[in-house]
């Protein structure tokens, strides 16, 4: 991975990078670039709001409960509205779906409205009140070709391997967009001086082995045996003779970002409170699994690849374990041993 400035000291913005990528597809209409500009604009607006969270009246609960039965934070509502607004202006998007909306929004039926965007506008939003990191996750799918003019909200129920691009924005000590459209995973840091996402982490590759596991260990007694034995094995030094330590922020985007750059493993297994897992498949697990795989890691639920799970509903939950090559080899060893 290169984190050095470009050789001639010029910068490469996300838009430039994307333009270079789309030149690989002659005849590209520019609609996809325009779609992506909706994401970059909306997330810059969210970043600006997050930066000033302690100074404006955006902390705390909005007073409503979302479809997951969770109290919506004011910033959840704000972020959702911003993304819906700017993505809603993109002619190429037929369907939008969000963690904060019970049903997907079918915006257009026209043939040129060929994309579907699903997102979690502000993941880990309870972190806002304590000035800790939060994120946005998004997944981009193509509408199926074979449905003619019978488009409906179920068009988006596609397994994650059909994603054509995915990413997240981490609102941390700096704001960073991490994105892949299938040709490497690239990180762009928001330069507040010029208001642009600038390429800072080209071609992110996960280290073969890290030194941290990231899990809400308070639930370990209720994990299925394989996950429990796995975490205990990491602690005991059974994965490459390294005794792992733990890091857990409680905002998936931040925990996964550390894992992508420094290696290791992130997991949210089934628990008594969340027997199917806590993370949402379509807009949390899938985009992360897509990025992790494109960075050389793997992402699973039990013995199944996350990207192969066929969703039955937009807000479906899943368990997830994702990590670098050594950590996932050790997980598969635990699975195989039935431990
Ligand atoms: P959210 O979408 O309601 O914010 O929940 C998802 C978050 C993830 O970011 C994080 O990994 C997880 O929930 C933390 O859950 P817990 O507090 O149970 O450890
Ligand atoms: Mg979330």
Q: How far is the CA of 327 from the centre of ligand 2 (A)?
A: 24
Q: How far is the CA of 316 from the centre of ligand 2 (A)?
A: 12
Which of 250, 273, 285 to mutate for ligand 1's pocket (most ligand atoms within 8 Å of CB)? 250
Ligand 1 within 6 A of CB of 274: no
pLDDT at 2: 47
Task: Give nearest CA residue, ligand 1 atom 17.
Answer: 250
Ligand positioned closest to the Cα atom of 170:
1
Q: How far is the CA of 92 from the centre of ligand 1 (A)?
A: 31
Ligand 1 within 6 A of CB of 125: yes
**Does pTM surpass 0.85?**
yes
Full set of structural domains in the chain with CATH: 14-201 (3.30.540.10), 212-337 (3.40.190.80)
Ligand 1 within 6 A of CB of 251: yes
Burial zone of 62 (CB within 10 Å; 0-12 exposed, 13-18 middle, 19+ buried): middle
* Residue 159: closest CA among 178, 144, 146, 137: 144
pLDDT of residue 70 exceeding 80, the answer is no
Q: Per residue in 241-254, pLDDT tens? A: 899 999 999 999 99
Q: How far is the CA of 260 from the centre of ligand 1 (A)?
A: 18
Task: Give nearest CA residue, ligand 1 atom 18.
Answer: 216
Ligand positioned closest to the Cα atom of 70:
1
Q: Per residue in 8-36, pLDDT tens? A: 568 999 999 998 888 777 777 888 999 99
Determine the Cα–Cα distance for residues 169 and 329; give it in Å rounded to an integer.
Answer: 28
Q: What is the mean pLDDT of the chain?
A: 91
Q: Per residue in 95-130, pLDDT tens? A: 999 999 999 999 988 878 999 999 999 999 889 889
Determine the Cα–Cα distance for residues 226 and 47; give it in Å rounded to an integer.
Answer: 39
Determine the Cα–Cα distance for residues 137 and 212; give it in Å rounded to an integer.
Answer: 23
pLDDT of residue 135 exceeding 70, the answer is yes
Q: How far is the CA of 214 from the centre of ligand 2 (A)?
A: 17
Which ligand 1 atom is at minimum distance from the Cα of 216? Answer: 19
Beta bridge partners of 140: 117, 165
Helices (H), the chain: 14-22, 31-51, 74-88, 225-236, 252-262, 286-294, 325-336
Which ligand 1 atom is at minimum distance from the Cα of 266? Answer: 11
Ligand 1 within 6 A of CB of 216: yes
Q: Per residue in 251-302, pLDDT tens? A: 999 999 999 999 999 999 999 999 999 999 999 999 999 999 999 999 999 9
Task: Give nearest CA residue, ligand 1 atom 2.
Answer: 123
């Amino acid at each position: 991975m290169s984190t050095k400035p470009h050789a001639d000291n010029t910068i490469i913005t996300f838009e430039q990078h994307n333009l270079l990528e789309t030149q690989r597809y002659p005849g590209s209409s520019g609609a996809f670039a325009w779609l992506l500009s909706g994401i970059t604009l909306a997330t810059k607006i969210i970043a600006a709001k997050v930066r000033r969270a302690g100074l404006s009246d955006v902390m705390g609960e909005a007073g409503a409960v979302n479809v997951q039965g969770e109290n919506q934070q004011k910033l959840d509502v704000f972020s959702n509205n911003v993304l819906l607004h700017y993505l809603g202006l993109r002619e190429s998007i037929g369907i939008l779906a969000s963690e904060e909306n019970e049903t997907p929004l079918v915006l257009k039926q026209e043939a040129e409205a060929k994309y579907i965007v699903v997102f979690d506008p502000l993941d880990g939003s309870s972190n806002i009140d304590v000035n800790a990191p939060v994120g946005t996750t998004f997944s981009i799918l193509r509408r199926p070709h074979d449905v003619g003019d019978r488009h409906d909200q179920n068009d988006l129920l596609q397994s994650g391997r059909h994603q054509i691009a995915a990413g997240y924005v981490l609102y941390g000590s700096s704001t960073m967009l991490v994105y892949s459209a299938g040709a490497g995973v690239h990180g762009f840091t928001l330069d507040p001086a010029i208001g642009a996402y600038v390429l800072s982490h080209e071609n992110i590759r996960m280290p073969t082995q890290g030194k941290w596991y990231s899990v809400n260990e308070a639930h370990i007694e209720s994990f299925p045996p394989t996950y429990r034995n796995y975490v205990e094995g990491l602690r005991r030094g059974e994965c490459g003779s390294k005794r792992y330590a733990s890091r857990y922020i409680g905002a998936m985007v931040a925990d996964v970002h550390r894992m992508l750059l420094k290696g290791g493993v992130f997991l949210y297994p089934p628990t008594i409170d969340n027997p199917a897992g806590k993370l949402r498949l379509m807009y949390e697990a899938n985009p992360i699994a897509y990025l992790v795989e494109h960075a050389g890691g793997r992402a699973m639920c039990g013995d199944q690849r996350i990207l192969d799970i066929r969703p039955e509903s937009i807000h479906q939950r899943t368990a997830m374990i994702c990590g670098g090559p050594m950590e996932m080899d050790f997980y598969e060893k635990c699975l195989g041993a039935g431990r």
